[in-house]
Structures are given as structure tokens and as C-alpha cells.
Amino acid sequence: MSDTMGYGTFEAAAAKSAAIEADLPLHPERYRVLTGDRPTGRLHIGHLFGSLQNRVRLANLGVTTYIVIADYQVLTDRETFEAIAENTRELTIDYLAVGIKPSERVHIFPHSHVPELNQLLLPFLTLVTNAELNRNPTVKEEIAASGMRNITAGMYTYPVHQAADILFCKGNTVPVGKDQLPHLELTRVIARRFNERFAAGVPVFPEPQALLSAAPTLLGLDGNQKMSKSRGNAIMLCATADETAALIKKAKTDADRNIAYDPEKRPEVSNLLLIASLCTGEKPADIAARIGDQGAGALKRTVTETLNEFLRPIRAERARLEADPAYIRSVLLSGIESARAVAIDTLREVRAAMHMEL
């Protein structure tokens, strides 16, 4: 196996993403979207504005969408697994509450329940070198951040498993953030090498492209790092209106009473303005102009009211779904059924290409 793979540039990925974005509304039938999350807990407003709304938009354009709940992937970076099924249910509730509607075109499923998807891992592992896996920048960062001393093979190989997540349904478009670009580059390399090595002439797999989110990344309420549940700086979709008010009240701001949108110099205040803006569609600077020199207290009242108003229907739907576990289960079971149907077909093609069919 040659070891020729580079992990690509952001500029190249951004240009391809822009081209897909322009074509999507014109030819939704050409796209098959595969997205996913690790079931590690409930989702927050950073997920809502960063990726969930985009999934709803793509589904509404009529694009076939598979949403993989990557439960095996949870095992790569943490030792607890007792809560995986519960987190899978909660994640599904968050998806449904924000308006992702399961249908014959939209499928939500945990990948551990799709054996034929998982089986793709075996041939795929023979298509990449150890050195290539060791060079993956996202995996390197995760290892550094985890402080782990003994790194499992699962950590180095999960991007190959992620390629199976994407390729089992021949996904050609993957909405992701920048950190996932190396995994997508690896997925393309696997698809290309599979096609060249086993499927001369009749490619089995597409080479999937990233769809980079246009939404700005929200900072946490501490104002200096990304919003994330584990950093305790997030507003969860499932929080109550009072909890949300209390969190925003404690949010970091600055000493200048005049409220203005200036992400460089005033990140905390600007982030709060951005949250309000994402809820109303108004420009952050216009919201700031209305508040003027009424100070951080007034800004926080505005953000609290706007956000709670925006989340009200989502939270009501969440509560309704929480009370209906049988429905959540049925959504996952039918997602698994449709994912398996495609995975069985793909695995059959893969075996035929590899001369393994009897």
C-alpha cells in the first residue's frame, strides 16, 4: 500500500462546499447527506444554530438524509458507556424537537445496530496505512487533549469506521465542522482506493464532500471558549426558561455600558448579541444599537427574553416527546430498518467486487 495521502487544505474544502451549497436547491435529488453525532449527552444551542437547523433545512429541500448516532465512537474517548442508550434516546428527542422529521427520506439510527455497516470496516482497514492514521490531525489533538497514556487501536481507527458510516449508504455530502475535514479526506481516500483496487471500471463508492456550516461558532457564556456541555458554559435545549435566565445573568460581559457588536474587542458582549440575532434574524449591530448605553443588564434581559421565546416551542415539543418513549423507540427502529436495507445492498456489492460472493 502506498502512503501518499495528505490531509488536504481548508481552502479546497471550502470551495467545494460552496459549489455544493449553490447546486443543492437546484438538484436536491443528486445529494445524499450523511451526518452524525456521538451520543454523549443532550444538545445545546450551539448545536442548534451550528448544525441542527442546517439539517432541517437540507431535509426540507428534499435531500435524502441519514443521521448516524455514533454510539461505538463514544468508546474511543471515554471510559463510561452505561449511559449510551439513554444518551441515544435524548439525542433523538433533541433532533425531533428541533424539527427533524423522520420519513422515507430522513433516517435516524445508532450504527451499533447495523451489522453490515460495521462489517465494511474490515476491508477498509486494509486500504490505509498505520502512518496515515497516525498523521490524522484531529485524532492527534484528541489524544493530546485527553491526556491518555495508553491509546487504544479504537482511537486510531475510528476515522476508518467513520468512513463506513458515510459510505455504507453512499453518502456524497457530509455537513461538518472544520475538525471533521481530516476524517472526510480519509473517507475519500478509502473510497478511491476501494474503487481502484477492487472495482476497476465500475466505482462502488462516491468520494464524499464536506458541506461546511455557514453558521458562526457560538462561544460559551464564559465568553472565551467554544460553547460545550463539558465546559459548563452551555445553554441546553432541555433547560427551563428560569435556568436559561439564571445562566445568562451569570454570563461574563465587560465594563463598557455602551453595548456594541465588536467580536474582536468585545467577544462576550458580541456573543450574547449573536445569540439574540440568531433567534430573531436581526443583525447583531442593530440589536446593539437599540440597547445603546443601557448596559449589560439590559442586554442580558433582551437575550433572555428572545432566546426563551425562540426555544419555547422546541422545549414544549421536547417535553411531549420525553413522555412518549415508545414513539422514540419506534423512530430508531425504523431508522435501523432502512439503514440496514441499504447496508445489506452495499455489502453485497462490496463482496462481489472483492470476489467473495459464493
Q: Is 32 in the site for ligand TRP (CB under 6 A)?
A: no
Q: Pick out residues in 144-163 that bind ligand TRP (CB under 6 A).
A: 162
Q: Is 164 in the site for ligand TRP (CB under 6 A)?
A: no
CB atoms within 10 A of CB 177: 14
Q: Of 137, 132, 154, nearest to 79 (Cα)? A: 154
Q: Is 284 in the site for ligand TRP (CB under 6 A)?
A: no
Q: How far is the CB of 77 from ligand TRP (least distance, A)?
A: 9
Site of grid cell 442548534: 48
Q: Of 216, 212, 213, 209, nearest to 191 (Cα)? A: 209
Q: How far is the CB of 13 from ligand TRP (least distance, A)?
A: 14
Q: Is 71 in the site for ligand TRP (CB under 6 A)?
A: no
Q: Is 185 in the site for ligand TRP (CB under 6 A)?
A: no
**What is the DSSP pairing of strand 209-212 with strand 64-69?**
unpaired
Site of grid cell 475510528: 158
Q: How far is the CB of 63 from ligand TRP (least distance, A)?
A: 15
Contact 178, 215 (CB under 8 A): no
Residue closer to ligand TRP, measured from CB, 54 or 280: 54
The SS3 of residue 32 is strand
Residue closer to ligand TRP, measured from CB, 192 or 197: 192
Q: Is 74 in the site for ligand TRP (CB under 6 A)?
A: no
Q: How far is the CB of 290 from ligand TRP (least distance, A)?
A: 36
Q: Which stretch binds ligand TRP (CB under 6 A): 59-67, 68-76, 233-241, 268-276?
A: 68-76
Contact 109, 68 (CB under 8 A): yes
Contact 229, 45 (CB under 8 A): no
Q: Which of 24, 31, 36, 128 binds ligand TRP (CB under 6 A)?
A: 36
The x, y and z cell numbers of residue 68, run together, are 448516524
Q: Is 176 in the site for ligand TRP (CB under 6 A)?
A: yes
Residue closer to ligand TRP, measured from CB, 112 or 308: 112
Residue closer to ligand TRP, measured from CB, 118 or 244: 118
- What's the CA gap between 132 and 122, in Å, rounded? 17
The SS3 of residue 107 is strand
Sheet holding 173-176, edge to edge: 106-110, 64-69, 32-37, 173-176, 209-212
- What's the CA gap between 245 and 281, in Å, rounded? 21
Q: Pick out residues in 236-275 that bind ligand TRP (CB under 6 A).
A: none
Residue closer to ligand TRP, measured from CB, 139 or 291: 139
Residue closer to ligand TRP, measured from CB, 132 or 268: 132
CB atoms within 10 A of CB 86: 11
Q: Which of 165, 211, 238, 346 binds ligand TRP (CB under 6 A)?
A: 165
Question: In the complex, which residues of this chain contact ligand TRP (CB under 6 A)?
Answer: 34-38, 68, 70, 73, 162, 165-166, 174, 176, 180
